[in-house]
Amino acid sequence: YGLKRGISNMIAKLAKTCTLRISPDKLNFILCDKLANGGVSMWCELEQENFFSEFQMEGVSAENNEIYLELTSENLSRALKTAQNARALKIKLTNKHFPCLTVSVELSSMSNSSRIATHDIPIKVIPRKLWKELQEPMVPDPDVSIYLPVLKTMKSVVEKMKNISSHLVIEANLDGELNLKIETELVCVTTHFKDLGNPPLASESTSQDRNPEHMAEVHIDIRKLLQFLAGQQVNPTKALCNIVTNKMVHFDLLHEDVSLQYFIPALS
């Protein structure tokens, strides 16, 4: 039941409605707001074999063996909450006057008999002509790639900064330093994180022409960063921040079997 292990909860915090892409080997939760219009986007990936003991799906055709659905993430999260101590959990596509994702939860009771709780989550099936807009976002080469500090710490810092300004500058270098800065007419506040480390590949590809101490920066909406941080209930096994100067910040997280990419565009 890995799906319910906080993943649906995280998705609900990150996106009100999202697309669920089902393919034979993977499940993806996708949010594709146009970065150019100031929207965030997200690509979350789960290997189905790590989550389900049995998995059957049939897509549109043999060569397009995929299904794309739009759903309200809160509905999925709520349905899976009831499955906390379930014996079994089944998720299937049904048609009950309208298309649904039906979640059946087998709950054990004191008398050794079991009860079944069923949740029908209304969905919208996305036609094939729109699939091309829902592909994995391309990540431009970052100017700086750096490991993130403990996300809880980062969240409490950003929460305090949000009371002063609605904008934030994230800057980092190849020397393992990351700064969070806000500047208003009255005050300038900076939080410094040091010795975070940079992934080896990142520093090699960019280091030839980049002074390690030189900061790459991106100016973003502080609420979008806070929304991302609020969605992280557990500290990930790997957390990377990639900065494309004045264009975007890309977070790349790994939680055991789940990978999450989250993109916040720069403020113009």
Domain housing 160: 144-250
Which pTM was predicted? 0.86
- The number of C-alpha atoms within 13 Å of 40 and in the hemisphere containing its C-beta is 23
The answer to whether residue 94 sits within a structural domain is yes
Same-domain check for residues 150 and 220: yes
The answer to whether residue 268 sits within a structural domain is no
CATH of the domain at 220: 3.70.10.10
Same-domain check for residues 100 and 172: no
Helix intervals (H) in 63-180: 73-81, 151-162
Same-domain check for residues 3 and 125: yes
The answer to whether residue 266 sits within a structural domain is no
The answer to whether residue 90 sits within a structural domain is yes
Same-domain check for residues 165 and 121: no
The answer to whether residue 256 sits within a structural domain is no
How many domains does the chain fold into? 2
Neighbours of 127 (CB within 10 A): 9
Same-domain check for residues 5 and 107: yes
Helix intervals (H) in 135-267: 151-162, 200-207, 222-230
Same-domain check for residues 177 and 82: no
Same-domain check for residues 128 and 153: no
Same-domain check for residues 18 and 124: yes
What sign does the CA torsion over 137, 93, 77, 26 have? negative
Closest to 101 measured CA to CA, from 116, 121, 82, 119 = 121
Same-domain check for residues 201 and 224: yes
Opening angle at CA 137, ends 135 and 142, nearest 5: 160
Per-residue pLDDT of the chain (268 residues; tens, 9 = 90+): 445 557 778 888 888 889 999 988 888 999 877 655 667 889 999 887 877 778 888 877 788 889 999 999 888 888 887 777 777 788 888 898 899 998 888 877 766 777 888 889 999 999 999 998 888 888 888 999 999 999 999 999 999 999 999 999 999 999 999 999 999 999 999 999 999 999 886 545 555 567 888 999 999 999 999 999 988 877 788 999 999 999 999 999 998 788 999 999 999 7
The answer to whether residue 265 sits within a structural domain is no
- Give the containing element (helix H, strand E) for 75: helix 73-81
Same-domain check for residues 182 and 204: yes
Q: Are 71 and 18 in contact (CB under 8 A)?
A: yes
Q: CA torsion angle for 188, 189, 195, 196 (degrees, to 10)?
A: -110
The predicted structure's pLDDT at residue 1: 45
